[in-house]
Each structure stands twice: as C-alpha cells, then as structure tokens.
Amino acid sequence: MKLTGSSVMDTFRNNKRHTVFLLAAVIGSVLFSLVPPQILRLIIDTQLVPARTDRLRLLAAVYLVSVIFSGLCDFGKGALLTDLGQRMIKNMRQEMLAKMHRLPSIYFSKTSSGSITGRFNNDVEHISSLFTDGAVSMLVDSLKMAGIVISIAVFSIKLGIAVLILIPLIYVMTRAFQKYMLKAQKENLAELGEMNEHLEDSVRNIRTVKAYSREGWIYGLYRDLLVRNFYTVRKVNFCDALYSPLIQMIKSVVIAAVVLSASGQCSIVGISVGMTAASIDLITNLFGPIEALGTEFQNIQDGISAVHRIDEFGDEEEETDKDDSLEISSIMNGHAEDEPVITAKDVSFSYDRNRTAVLDDVSFEIMPGDYVTITGRTGVGKTTLLNLVTGLFVPDSGQIKIYDTDVTTIPYSIKRGLYGYVSQDMKLIHGTLLEQITLKDPAITRERAIETMKFTGLYDELGEFADRSDCVLSQGQKQLMSIARAIAPNPPILIFDEITASLDSLTEERIVGVLKKATEQHTVLSVSHRLTSLQNSDHVIYLENGRIRARGTPEEIFAQVPDFAALLKLQESGWS
C-alpha cells in the first residue's frame, strides 16, 4: 500500500471510536439541517394559518431542539475532523521520517532540503485539508444539497427540478469566479514579492544608487511595480465585490419564483404558505454548500497533487540492508597488522547512471597507522570517494571494505565506533561545548570529552566554557572541536574532508599538528589540496578524470604531476 494510503488507514484503524462518532456527526448534521424547515412548514400550515395553538409550543420546542442538535452535530463534525486530521498528519510525518532515515545518502545529494521540507510541511497539510476541508466536507455538503432538493421536490416536483437545474449553473459560475480570483491573487503575491525584493535591493545598494545619481531610475522601476499591482488588486476586489451581490440576486429571483408559485401567479404548481416559507428557508440554506463546493474542490485538487508527491517520496529506493549481527569486535578481531584497514577494489560511481562516472575503476589499500591524503583538482570526486568509504554512497560496481567487511553492510549504529568523520564545516548542535563533542552519547564520558579537548589544545582556551552553550567559536576552533568530536569514541579510522581549506596558514599549521598527533593512534584518510597537508602525509593518491593518475609519497606525487605541484606552490604563495 502507498505511504499516504497506509497512513490514512492506520489513522482510522487506530481511532475507531473517533471514526464512528464522525460518521454519526455527519449523518446528524445532514438530517438535522433538513428538520427545521419541515417544522416551520407545520407551524405555519397547521397552527398559524388556521389560527390554532394546540401544538404550537410542542412544534416550537421541536424546532429549537432540531436547530440545537444541528449545531451540535456541525460542531462535532468539525472538531472530530480536525482531531482526526491532526492524528493523520502525525502518523504521516512519522512514516515519512522513518522512510527518510531509510533512504540512501545519495538521495539527499540529488534532492534539495527545501523540496524535502516542502513535502513534510506543505504537502502533508494539503492532504489534511483534502480530508478535513475537502472530501468529507464535500460529501456532507452534497448530501445536504440532495436533501434540500428532495425536500423541495416533496412540496413541488417542478420546483425541485428547477432547483436541481440551478445547482450546476451556480457551481460553474462559482468555479469561474474562484479560478479568476485565484489567478489574480497569485499575480498579487508574485508582484508583492517583486516589490519587497526591489525595496531590499534599493536599501542594500542605496550608496551605489546615490553615488551614480540613479534615484530616478530606481523610483521609476518601483512606480511601475506599484501601478501593475494596483490593477491586479483591483481585479481581485472587483470579483470579490461582484460575486456576493450576484449570488444574492440569483437567490432573490428563486425566492420570488417560489412566492409567485404560492400565489398562483406563475406556471409552477402552487404550494401552501408553510411550504413556501420552508422552501425559502431551504433555498437560503442551499447556497452555502454550493459556494463551499468550489473551495472544497480546490482543496481536493491540491490534496491529490500532494498525495502523488508524497507517494513518489514513499516509492524512493531505500538503502541496502544492514547486517545487524555485526559488532565492532567482530569486525576488528582477527585482523592482522600487515593487512589493510581500508580496501577499495574496482570502484565506479555516478550520481546518475545515464551520465559519465564520477569515479571509474578506483582501487587502493590503506594500511594500519597510515596517513593517506586524496588530492586532485576541483570536481574529480575526492569527497565522493570519502562518502563511498564511509558507506554513505553505494558504488555502482566494485567494493569497499573496512577490516574485510563490506562497508555498505555495517549498521550506522556502530560506524561511529569504527571511524570519525570531520567535514569542511563544523555542524553545531544546541548544547554545551562538551555536548558538541559527545553529541549526548552516554557512551562518551565527561572525562573523555575533556581529554579530547586537551588533545586538540582547546581546553586551555575554552575549558572554562566547557559547560556553557553561549561560547562563540572561531572557524579554527570549530574545526578543532569537530576533530575532538571525531576522536572522542576513539575510533581506529579518522576521515577528514578539506578541513583546512578555509583557514589561514597559522591555524592550518595548528590543525595539521593535531592531525600528526592523531596519526600516532589512528589510521587517517583525508582530502586536501593544501601543500602543507600533503607534505605531512605518508602517502598521497592523485585523482584525475575519475581515475587514480598517481600514488606514492608526497615527493613522488610532485615528481609525477609537476603541473599540480606548481599550482600548489602558487596557491601557497597567495596567487590564484
């Protein structure tokens, strides 16, 4: 079953009492809305016209009770719809979140965060509206209209047929107005956005505008936007002002026809005074549901589109199954010191299988205690290779192993015990400095977190702020903090992605020094194109066009790729 269908069915299945009460409220809302006009007919025809009062109080009481029960049913319907809608939203978002956690990391590389957020927020809200303000409300309004038409037809078949013909005509007119107004409102929102953007640009660049004496030009642009928006808003207001009087005129014409019918002045079969009053009441109540149908139909259209988008999300291919029987001890035990820690064999990968491969037939081995740097020009697949090594991406072909175990089969729950990952930008969480390191993992003690701060040299600078969350970190301190976070679980492998790219030479030298200390206890794989980082590596892998062009010590790489070495030296000297 599709994701939306399972969420909706689970909501009804887990809230049977709410569902039963909702059905009762819907039926009651429809039935009790038809009772007052019938009681009004009886009051007029059997009591007022014959000048009798024997049942007047009873009928008045029944009329009052039916109105109260109709209101209570409408209230119950609205409250239960809202409650079930919120439960549905909760269930759907929970299922979507669970689905998101099962998606491979490559999905998030190809899909923007705004698109994902839109599905969680806007699309789910539209589906809730599909249920609360769309399908159910349309069903109720349709039943009310059917009941009103039947009630009128009981008084006069011809009048019932006339009202039945009138309904689609009014609905078509209502939809035409709504579509026109919706288009104008969208234009209005777009134009307001343009005006706001123009004002922001004008304020931001006011010095440039004044320096070049271009105030008149800027003023003219803004005036044109104002004039265009003026006519757009006028269209919206014109439709809004026209629609209600038009509906009132149609309603008045129908009521006049009913009155004339009662007096025998038209060809419609005559009806009694009570029937006339009841028909007028029913016709007045008829226009509300007709007007609501247009909005409900729009909600249904938006909801159906949202259902398709969420179901597409639910149909996304999930990542490969993990081997839950694996543990860190079972992965590392029995591994000899002369065997590689990381092995890549014939690895190829592309973000889109119909395009050129980012990596093609890449193979290498990293031994325990090695400090290996992957380098190359921008866009050759360095970070992609790290994502493959960590198992975030799955290769199209080939295999990457950590301690003879396929990395794609290792559960995320134990990966942090195998390697620590440091990206270019430190992602801060809400918490104290120590919690930035521990990520609130109970397995990492306070003493261990402080030890890692001392290892990176941060404790001397920030030790007094260790239990505070209001400390402002420099970029270099953030990178050192991210290194402390990576080594806190004491993993055997450390992976660094361009962690010195945006730092000055002094801060870079400090971080490189920390990395050199880290290699004494860990195997390090890094990505860098900074000369200092390369010179401190044991081995370097040079990527070019998705393949390994050269590998060896830094000196060997510089000899094999002299053009790259020259470029690094220019960058080091400040040239670009």
Note the pLDDT tens digit of each residue in 124-143: 888 888 777 777 887 888 88
Q: Render pLDDT for 289-298 as a digit per residue (tens, 0 to 9).
A: 877 776 777 6
What mean pLDDT, rounded, does the chain reach? 81
Q: Render pLDDT for 107-125 as a digit per residue (tens, 0 to 9).
A: 887 777 767 887 888 788 8
d(CA 232, CA 229): 5
Find out whether 371 and 515 touch, Cβ atoms under 8 Å.
yes
Q: In degrees rounded to 5, what are phi and psi of residue 190?
A: -65, -40
With a cut of 80, say whether residue 147 has pLDDT above it.
Answer: yes
pLDDT value of residue 561? 76
Q: 527: which strand partners?
A: 374, 497
Find out whether 266 and 149 touch, Cβ atoms under 8 Å.
no
pLDDT cut 70: percent of the chain above it = 90
Indicate if the alpha-carbon torsion angle 429, 431, 437, 438 is positive or negative: negative
Question: How many angstroms separate the Cα of 409 from the Cα of each of 340, 343, 415, 452?
Answer: 18, 15, 10, 30
Buried b (16+ CB within 10 A) or exposed e, 298-331: bbbebbeebbebbeebbeeeebeebeeeeebeeb
Per-residue pLDDT, averaged over 551-570, amounts to 72
pLDDT value of residue 345? 92
Give me the DSSP letters along 218-272.
Answer: HHHHHHHHHHHHHHHHHHHHHHHHHHHHHHHHHHHHHHHHHHHHHHT-SSSPP--
With a cut of 60, say whether residue 360 has pLDDT above it.
Answer: yes
pLDDT cut 90: percent of the chain above it = 3
User: Which of 146-150, 392-396, 568-572 has the least mean pLDDT?
Assistant: 568-572
Per-residue pLDDT, averaged over 243-259, amounts to 76
pLDDT value of residue 575? 43
End-to-end CA distance of the chain: 56
Q: Which of 262, 249, 49 is nearest to 156 (CA)?
A: 262
Most confident of 70-84, 148-162, 180-194, 245-259: 70-84
pLDDT band at 400 (very low <50, low <70, confident <90, very high): very high
Q: Render pLDDT for 64-109 as a digit per residue (tens, 0 to 9).
A: 998 899 889 889 888 888 888 888 888 888 888 988 888 888 788 7
Per-residue pLDDT, averaged over 503-529, amounts to 73
d(CA 414, CA 150): 68
**Angle made by CA atoms 354, 356, 357, in degrees to the nearest 5:** 105
pLDDT band at 299 (very low <50, low <70, confident <90, very high): confident
pLDDT value of residue 457? 82
- Going by their DSSP bridges, the two strands 397-402 and 371-375 should be labelled as unpaired
Q: Render pLDDT for 184-236 as a digit per residue (tens, 0 to 9).
A: 777 876 787 788 878 888 888 888 888 888 888 888 988 998 999 898 888 87
pLDDT value of residue 399? 92
Ramachandran category for residue 271: left, alpha or beta (phi over 0 → left; psi -120 to 50 → alpha): beta
Number of Cβ within a 10 Å radius of residue 8 = 20
- Going by their DSSP bridges, the two strands 419-422 and 493-497 should be labelled as parallel
Question: Using CA atoms in the order 219, 225, 231, 236, what is the torsion angle rounded to 10 degrees?
Answer: -130
The model scores a pTM over 0.75: no
Q: Which of 70, 35, 103 is nearest to 320 (CA)?
A: 103
pLDDT value of residue 505? 64
pLDDT band at 522 (very low <50, low <70, confident <90, very high): confident
Q: How far is CA 345 from the centre of its chain?
A: 38
Per-residue pLDDT, averaged over 468-491, amounts to 82
With a cut of 50, say whether residue 576 has pLDDT above it.
Answer: no
pLDDT band at 269 (very low <50, low <70, confident <90, very high): low
d(CA 201, CA 196): 9
Q: Render pLDDT for 535-547 as a digit per residue (tens, 0 to 9).
A: 778 888 888 888 8
Question: How many angstroms separate the Cα of 166 from the Cα of each of 170, 233, 247, 250, 287?
Answer: 6, 31, 12, 9, 10
d(CA 198, CA 34): 55
Instruction: Specify the amino acid at residue 453.
Output: M
Who wins on pLDDT, 1 or 97? Answer: 97
pLDDT value of residue 148? 82
pLDDT value of residue 574? 47
